[in-house]
């Protein structure tokens, strides 16, 4: 009997240390891209769109912000919570010693997703919250960082063209 499951291509850079002192652009999508994290209302005139998080989105934001105290060498640089996905820039600061090893980005994302699921269950949410895995991009230089930061800032305005939105 053969394995009929599709082969997943690796989505991480081979032999890259995801625990090193870099910044990372992370995208995490809800299961089936369900619009359960926020609602976006279009601003009037030149006003930017406003994001109003749902109860699940409130949990997601709270759990995101609790990552810094949990992982002292992690810094959340920027984020946006869209209706069905979120974008984050994490920086992992270089470890200056200590008994426990630095977390890797996959460790951080796994802990975050797990806590969000645990807390959403307390609200009675029974659906599967997240898609498997996540998208990551190692930020390579200042220009890359600035472009990604602008993308995150403009994402609510440009949501119709965002590949993760629909």
Per the structure, the count of domains in the chain is 1
Q: In this structure, is residue 11 part of a structural domain?
A: no
**In which band, very low, low, confident or very high, does the pLDDT at 5 lie, cut at 50, 70 and 90?**
very low
Q: In this structure, is residue 81 part of a structural domain?
A: yes
The domain that holds 137 is classified in CATH as: 3.30.70.1290
The position carrying tokens 């870099």 is: 22
Q: In this structure, is residue 43 part of a structural domain?
A: yes
| Cβ neighbours of residue 92 closer than 8 Å, sequence gap 6 or more | 19, 20, 21, 22, 23, 24, 73, 74, 75, 102, 103, 105
Q: What does the block give as tokens for 20? A: 């090193």
Per-residue pLDDT reduced to its tens digit, 26-73: 999 999 999 999 999 876 777 778 999 999 999 999 999 999 999 989
Answer for the pair 106, 11: CB distance below 8 angstroms, yes or no: no
Q: Which residues of 142-152 are buried (b: 16+ CB within 10 A; e: fewer)?
A: eeebeebbeeb
Q: Is the pLDDT of residue 2 over 70?
A: no
Q: In this structure, is residue 8 part of a structural domain?
A: no
- Predicted model pTM: 0.82
Domain of 70, in residue numbers: 23-160
Q: What does the block give as tokens for 31? A: 């299961």
Q: In this structure, is residue 147 part of a structural domain?
A: yes
Q: In this structure, is residue 125 part of a structural domain?
A: yes
Q: In this structure, is residue 144 part of a structural domain?
A: yes
Q: In this structure, is residue 17 part of a structural domain?
A: no
């Amino acid at each position: 009997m053969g394995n009929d499951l599709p082969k997943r291509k690796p989505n991480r850079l081979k032999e890259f240390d995801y625990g090193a002192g870099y910044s990372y652009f992370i995208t995490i999508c809800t299961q089936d891209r369900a619009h359960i994290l926020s609602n976006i209302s279009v601003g009037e005139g030149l006003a930017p769109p406003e994001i109003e998080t749902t109860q699940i989105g409130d949990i997601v934001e709270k759990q995101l912000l609790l990552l810094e105290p949990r992982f002292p060498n992690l810094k959340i640089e920027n984020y946006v919570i869209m209706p069905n996905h979120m974008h984050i820039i994490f920086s992992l600061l270089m470890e200056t010693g200590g008994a426990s090893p630095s977390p890797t980005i996959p460790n951080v994302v796994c802990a975050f997703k797990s806590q969000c699921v645990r807390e959403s269950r307390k609200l009675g949410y029974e659906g599967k919250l997240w898609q498997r895995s996540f998208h990551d991009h190692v930020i390579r230089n200042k220009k890359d960082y600035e472009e990604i930061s602008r993308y995150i800032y403009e994402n609510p305005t440009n949501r119709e063209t965002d590949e993760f939105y629909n």
